[in-house]
Every structure is written in structure tokens, then in C-alpha cells.
Amino acid sequence: MLVQSLEHLAQSALALAQSRRIFILGSSSLLASFPELGEAGLLDNTFDADLLLDPVTKGISDLLKEAIGEGSLFEKERGYHANILHLSIAETLPHGWEGRLVAVEGFDNVFALEPLDLAAVKIVVGREKNLALVRGLLELRKISAEDLRKRRSSMPLGEREMFQSGRNLALIVEGIGSR
């Protein structure tokens, strides 16, 4: 995804929902900190933006899904779409995430997840595409493994999730070190 596409989705969501704030929480949130990643290949397989609106009602959420969501005419014409998230997603984020949000340039009320917060979530989820994204951030030196370890430790994880995410991070770091 290109930063221009992300900005267009944010403008569209703001116009339709008239929300106070929009939080970008998925991989496309990296564009607020590193706009070059949209053209450098790390996000070229990202065609959506995960948006959390504040406030949002079920009616507004349904409207946005129909207007700019997956399968919408908007997506068919533009090639990208928005995923409208439920507020409960915030419970899975690292402690203090709201204080580390990155302002999206050109907007007073659109904010993106800070890269370390995103990377911490990705190693917990642990899908191959998530781990590849974290690997890319580490290889490009956009984040450090030590800072990521610290951020992961601030997450509300159970024993199993803590073990699995620690293993995921160790495998990524080991793979980078062996190159």
C-alpha cells in the first residue's frame, strides 16, 4: 500500500463517519512512520488498512464496510479497502499504546500504531506473513530486537502466548544473524 492510498482511506472514513479520531492499527500503520516502505516492497502486498474509529456505532461500522470495505465498489475501483475494527481489539495491544501513537501527516485526528507496538502484536499473532514483516523491519533497522523484546513484555499475554511470541522473535533474530 502506498501512503497516498492510506490517506485516501482515512479521508473517506472521516467524511462518512464524522468520527472524532481514527486509529490505524494494521501493517499499513507503518506508513505513518516510514512512508517509503510502501514503495520499498515491504508493504507492497498490503491492500487494506485496519481502522479503529472513535467513536463508532454498529450503524456507522456497517456503513463504512459497505462503502469502503472489502468487496465494495470503492475497492473494485481503487484496489484497496478498509477493515473496520471493533473496540475490543485495543485489549490486545501493548500497555500504553495510545500514548505512543504516531500522527498521520496532514490530519489532526488520524493516528497510527507506533512501529514497535505493531511488531509486538505481529510476533504474538505469529502468522508467517506477520513474522516476515517483523523480519523486514529488523533487517531495515527500523526497530531493534531488544526494544521489541521490551515492548512484548508489556503486553497482557498468557503463559502460552508469552512463550510462543518469545520463540517467534528468537527465530526471527536467529535467522537474521545467520545471514
**98-119 confidence digits (pLDDT tens):** 999 999 999 999 999 999 999 9
- Residue 55, preceding peptide bond in cis (omega within 30° of 0): yes
- Where do the structural domains in the chain lie, given as residue ranges? 3-113, 116-177
Residue 22 has pLDDT above 80, yes or no: yes
Given a contact cutoff of 8 angstroms between Cβ atoms, the answer to whether 101 and 54 are in contact is no
User: DSSP secondary structure string, 141-175?
Assistant: TSS-HHHHHHHHTTS---HHHHHHHHHHHHHHHHH
Proportion of the chain above pLDDT 70, given as a percent: 98
pTM for the model: 0.92
**25-43 confidence digits (pLDDT tens):** 999 999 999 999 988 678 8
- Supply the pLDDT for residue 109: 95
Question: How far is it, in rounded angstroms, from Cα 66 to Cα 81?
Answer: 10
In this structure, what are the phi and psi dihedrals at residue 50, rounded to the nearest 5 degrees? -90, 115
